[in-house]
Structure 1
Amino acid sequence: MSKVLIVAEHLGGQLNASTAKCVTAAQALSPDSIDVLVLADDASAVAAEAAKLSGVARVLGVSNAANANGIAQVFAPQVAQLATHYTHVFGPSTTFGKDLMPCVAALLNAPQVSDAMAVEGPRTFKRPIYAGNAIVTVEVPEGVVVVATIRTASFAECARDGNAAVETVSVHAPLPTHTRFVGLAAGSSDRPDLQSAKRVVSGGRGVGSAENFKIVYDFADKIGAAVGASRAAVDAGYVPNEMQVGQTGKIIAPELYIAVGISGAIQHLTGIKDAGTIVAINKDPDSAIFEIADIGLVGDLFQILPELESQL
């Protein structure tokens, strides 16, 4: 008998798409029930959105002023206290989940399955190792809660035609005071979120400079895409690090991925291998990116992008 608790990721009163992907992963267990936990200063709006996720039985809303800023050390004791009623606790393998779930696992004295990409059984999962070059099957021992982060690039979002019950829950776990919220520094953009966008255009070292990145931004705006970058472009100072795609950046799975001036280092390929269609634009025909690209355009990006944009 499996009962799954999913910790919802949200920001600014909006539920992140990663939660819907965690529900899909949980459904692969064929559990008796799937509940979603929303921790916030006022959980009502996000809880109502989570109630629409297909396959969810209940949404547990914990409203507490201490939950206003999503601090992992504050969330973890509350999640751990509620987790005693469940066999599995899932969180997304995003910055949010990677920060929170190890704390939950430690409090439950349980091992964590990180970046689960396939469900093989109630306690058996597949996860990537060696930058995705190998896939290992891991099994969680009996007698402990299964704590896992779900590789969102490996699962589709569940439908949003559900009507789960929303319950207000009080948690009286002692909350630590050694960690406090100081501020949130985040880039603002009207473009789609990089991790949930259906289309992504990324620029690499071949773009040449921060000023030249305008050609990437313009093309992305033309097709309504999010903008990413390779590690080389970030290290060169062309763009901020929150735009980095790859093993040490964001792992994404858009329907369309366009790599502009990116050679295709293994670190970058790890982050995009689950994309639907990969288009590569590079003047070097021997670039590694062409080995995984569905469509390859060999040429000068400063000529190809304006030409594509004019055709669109």
Structure 2
Amino acid sequence: MTTNRNHQAQASKDIYERVTNQIIAAIEAGAGEYRMPWHHDGSSIARPINVASRKAYRGVNIVALWAAARAIGYRSGIWGTYRQWHELGAQVRTGERGHLVVFWKQSGRDHEVDRQNGDDDRDEPAKRMFARGYVVFNCAQVDGYTPPEMPALPETERVAHAERFCAALSIDIRHGGSEAYYVPSRDYVQMPAFASFRDAIAYYAVLLHECGHASGAKHRLDRDLSGRFGSAAYAMEECIVELLSAMICTDLNLSVEPRPDHARYIASWLKVLRSDKRAIFTAASKAQEIADWMHALQANTHQHSRGAA
């Protein structure tokens, strides 16, 4: 039993390292243009989905598949294992290289249930959970499958949806000045005037980033927001809310474009990821927790509005 557990622990460690190295390589590749693996154009590639379950990937698997899609140039976000494609009557082409996703299984249980990073609002696998890697292939790597058309909503509808989404968070948002930031001591988000942004989508991407910081307040999700610029804690918090903004923009079909101010974060992100192979798993899981919290507020708002009617 001990030998088996040691083998599982080593396998999990190897998976953490492989996924982390893949994401580090993607960050390094885009560093010159400040383009990170989580930047996307708001199209179907932005939401990695499993072809068999039709469920969206979560947590670190989103980031890993974004990185893979950017590196190879895939134009669709539909993924599946070799067996899943085969069961659908499609065939992975000879010579195609698969990409790693991670689930956790509980050791010693007769009935094993896969859990993704970010499930159940946990930033680390539960006790006696071990990471297990699965190789998936993008639909661009198979023959015999045509991805469905993904109609794009008009920009006006996407922007209106984003406005409603942010309003439902009930966070104090103020406008003025030239910088965007969150003030923990007074619990408000400061944003430059709407007109100072390149376009509405850029405004909401930044607003979601700052609302991500606000989610860490003690009366919300209670994260440590005391890290100073240059510290590992500060770098981690910035990574968490960058991923959060990208995840929500995916859900709202908004693009996430690189910004020059990322230059001051890239080196610190790489330092944290290189020093801790679980850091990106933790950051992605925290980002998923915030995304789930934000979506739950939308559902509550919808229910209250229906009740009032």
* TM-score, normalising length: structure 2: 0.27
Higher strand share: 1
* TM-score, normalising length: structure 1: 0.26
Quick one: higher RCO (CA 8 Å, sep 6+), 1 or 2? 2
Higher helix share: 2
